[in-house]
Structure 1
Amino acid sequence: MGKRSLGVDVLTAARQRIARVFDDFPRIYVSFSGGKDSGVMLELVADEARRRGRRIGVLFVDLEAQYRLTIDYVAEAYERHADVIEPYWVALPLNLRNAVSQFEPQWMCWDPGRRADWVRDPHPSSITDEEFFPFFRRRMEFEEFVPEFGHWYGGGKLTACFVGIRTAESLNRWRTIASGRKRPFEGLQWTTWIKGGPTYNIYPIYDWATEDIWTYYARERRPYNRLYDRMHQAGLTIHQARICQPYGDDQRKGLWLYHVIEPETWARVVARVNGANQGALYAREAGNILGRIKVTRPDGITWEEFAHRLLESMPLPLADHYKDKIAVFLRWYQVRGYPDGVIPDEDVIAKGKPSWARICKVLLRNDYWCKGLTFSPPKSSPGAYEKYKKLMTKRRAQWQLI
């Protein structure tokens, strides 16, 4: 699917899309991260709300281990748009991925039991009461909290959640827009229905380039997160600079920036989550933390033997988690042309083809949800993982795999 010109510049197109949403949706809010894209999104939606004399919700999920500059920018944005926004600054204990440690593969921001170790105190405007939202439960996944918030905020009415994603950022974001399987609002491809209620994600700047984002800030003279200036000074290009929680699978490669940009924050980050310092060192020295690009095995053993050695070196709960995933992976190919689950060993790691080398890469990357084996993170619900573990214990015994 190629690009097709609309005959207008991207700013005009975005404003037209936003105006259309204001015409049709009684409830509107912005998902705000403090980054450059969601910052543009907030500015554009706030402008339209001001023109129409309407109020909009603004959701910022504070993940604790964030730059002080980001928190300062979010606070300034909330204050500057106070005339048109209903602010929701959330600082609640959510489960997040920790891709830099096998001993703590997940961590909980704002963990009440580790208050003394928090990277910083919550902002005074934060929602810290776990009873504030009727749908909230401790250790919810971030990806679960956000849509639940949308349904709650909408109160059963047609609700629009403006999200500042752009197709130029990644293939997955392009798929979000281009998918033919999703349910858009009235055929508008830059919208996506969110299962569970009359709520839609809206992506009005999906066709903006990174250069368009910074052109907007310069021409419109709008404030932006000054963290990007520090990232530029640290040597990053405008295409490399991104803001998100630091310990995720993709985000860990930027960990080293913390002790360059905000040393005082870095000291707290290291103390807060296992593996942060190791992750920063390897990301900076090799750009290849935990086997992201190329992996090698010891001489004299096969990839399959190497995989078993890696599993034996892990904490037992983590090793068992990986064995469940690998068993499903082997079973998939066992009934599709690889009898007895015997897959190739292979030194060449090819996408879409089974091999023990591919399994080793997942283990070395600390790819907790095994995305490299085509798995997706599960949607969390109370007791779901425990039920899954019981089911997998029975299946592994039945399949006799791993």
Structure 2
Amino acid sequence: MSLHKFPLVQNVLEASRERIRWTLENFPRVCVSFSGGKDSTLMLHLTAQLARESGKKISVLFIDWEAQFSCTIAHCERLHDYYSDVIDTFYWVALPLTTQNSLSQFTPEWQCWEPGVEWVRQPPEYAITTHSFFPFYKQGMTFEVFVQEFAEWFSQKRPAAVMVGIRADESYNRFLSIASRRKHRFSDDKPWTTLAPGAHAWYIYPIYDWKTADIWTWFAKSHQPYNPLYNLMFQAGVPPRYMRICEPFGPEQRQGLWLYHVLEPERWGLMCERVSGVHSGGVYAGQDSKFYGHRQLIKPDNHTWKSYALFLLDSMPQKTAEHYRNKIAVYLHWYQKKGMMDIPDTQPGDIGSKDIPSWRRICKVLLNNDYWCRMLSFSPNKPGHYQRYNERIKNKRKEWNILCNSE
């Protein structure tokens, strides 16, 4: 099935306002998912302004990752006050959440606000730090599970909207989030809606068709506040397409680690103490670095991509290697069931955003420290099920005769 983009007769600003008005009129509860970045800031401005015009109230969800720039926290606090008249509840979440640490093979996950350790900074007084605040919360749950559970909890078992500021122009996967016809939409004429997993809340993507230039044009014309970190990034020579504001240790996000060293050396020192691999990430994770295989993959001349993948697995800490072997075995078995007894060593386009199977793609996952194997179409495991899942797949590997060892 081919997917296409079709131009609208409206400009993106008019279309987004129309979508937000429809959301405010049709859902009794509306929450804006906010990160402090340019996209979610724009979405919050548009939603809050239209809520103010219509006399509505909205909620805001902000996940505080502990290790964040001071500019970002100050910007979020400013908007917390800026729209206090229309924000019913500002859910500033500072709870222990588990996410990927793509800087280390020894500790490939980290937990923000982890109990019993020295934090990079303290959360604001109004942040949610009590574990019992959300009835669904479990210590160390992943961000992905948290936001899904939050949407269902927020809905109160009635129709509700969670507004998400993703744009189809950002990546192929985000384009599919909007364009895929497998998604359950509110109606056929509203492709910018998706039913959340709990079946009561709807994800709304009001700015899905904006481009980066549209975002900055709106800020320039409206003179509304945006995160001043973008100005510092620009002064530091970061191209606009690489300006990202989110948790700092993922495969994409780690490329901006060096900015902490330049802009906030004291916070940088605390981050190096707090999370394994941060210092080496700051040195080797730059945009043009080949260290993590981000832009370009290079293998030794005496290896095929398959033998190189097996070599990389054998060179890892045992626990991490077994985690990857399990994921790779499931991946290979899935293609075996489709008649592919072994995936090709390489294929055209196999290291892009679309999942085209090859051993070179597996090498990119391993070099990238993509612990959750998103490039192989996996999602994070739920912590409570992970050990049981690991043991089951380890036994299945023997049954499938896919051990992923070099011997």
Query: When the two structures are superposed, what TM-score results if normalisation uses the length of structure 2?
Result: 0.91
The one-letter code sitting in structure 2 at the alignment partner of 1:293 is: R
The correspondence for 1:288, drawn from 285, 290, 297, is 290
Q: Alignment partner of 1:41: what SS? A: helix
Q: What letter matches 1:181 in structure 2?
A: R
Would you say the 8 A contact 1:178–1:189 is kept in 2?
yes
Go from structure 1 to structure 2 and tell me whether the alpha carbon gap of 1:145 and 1:347 turns closer, same or farther (over 3 Å shift).
closer
1:311 CA displacement: 1.9
What is the SS of the residue equivalent to 1:324?
helix
Deviation at 1:349, TM superposition (A): 8.1
Aligned partner letter, 1:180:
R
Residue 249 (structure 1) shift: 1.7
Q: Distance in 1 between matches of 2:289 and 2:374?
A: 20
**Residue matched to 1:161:** 162
The match for 1:18 is 20
Residue 103 of structure 1: aligned partner: 106
Q: What is the CA-CA distance between 1:79 and the residue it aligns to?
A: 0.7
Question: Normalising by the residue count of structure 1, what TM-score does the alignment of the two structures yield?
Answer: 0.92
Q: Supply the AA of the counterpart residue of 1:99.
A: S
Question: 1:386 corresponds to which residue?
Answer: 387
Question: Which residue of structure 1 lines up, in the alignment, with residue 396 of structure 2?
Answer: 395
**Is the CA contact (8 Å cut-off) linking 1:345 and 1:355 kept in structure 2?**
yes
RMSD, matched Cα: 2.1
2:272 paired residue among 264, 270, 294: 270
**Which stretch has the larger CA shift, 168-177 or 357-366?**
357-366
Counterpart-to-counterpart distance in 2, 1:237 and 1:367? 24
1:154, CA displacement in angstroms?
1.9
Query: Which AA in structure 2 matches 1:7?
Result: V
Quickly say closer, same or farther: Cα 1:305–1:127, change in 2 above 3 A: same
**How many correspondences in the alignment?**
396
Q: 1:277 to 1:126 in 2, by over 3 A?
A: same
How do 1:2-401 residues align onto structure 2 when only pairs under 5 Å count? Answer: 2-85=4-87, 86-114=89-117, 116=118, 118-187=119-188, 188-284=190-286, 286-337=288-339, 339=341, 345=345, 350=350, 355-372=358-375, 374-378=376-380, 380=382, 383-401=384-402
Moved more, 301-310 or 39-48: 301-310
* 1:303 to 1:197, Cα distance in 2 relative to 1, 3 A: closer
Corresponding letter in the other structure for 1:71: I
Q: Quick one: which amino acid aligns to residue 90 of structure 1? A: V
8 A Cα contact 1:93 1:109, kept in partner? yes
Aligned-partner SS, 1:286: coil
In the alignment, is the contact (CA less than 8 A) between 1:349 and 1:358 conserved in 2? no
SS class of match (2:132): coil
* Secondary structure of the corresponding residue to residue 189 of structure 1: coil
Deviation at 1:42, TM superposition (A): 0.7
**C-alpha distance in 1, partners of 2:337/2:8?**
48
Shift of 1:260: 1.7
Residue 344 of structure 1 contacts residue 356 of structure 1 at CA under 8 Å; is this kept in 2?
yes
* TM superposition shift of 1:332: 3.4
- What is the deviation of 1:44? 0.9
CA–CA distance in 2 between the matches of 1:3 and 1:304? 37
317-326 vs 104-113, greater mean Cα deviation: 317-326
CA deviation map 1:350-393 (0-9, x unaligned):
46665444433322221212334x2311452x631122112112
Matched-pair identity in %: 47
How far 1:14 moved relative to its partner? 1.1
| Structure 1: stretches of 5+ with no match in the other structure | none
How far apart, CA to CA, are the structure 2 residues paired with 1:152 and 1:328? 32
CA shift, 1:104, in A, is: 0.7
Unpaired runs of 5+ in structure 2? none
Partner SS for 2:285:
helix
- Cα shift at 1:267: 1.4
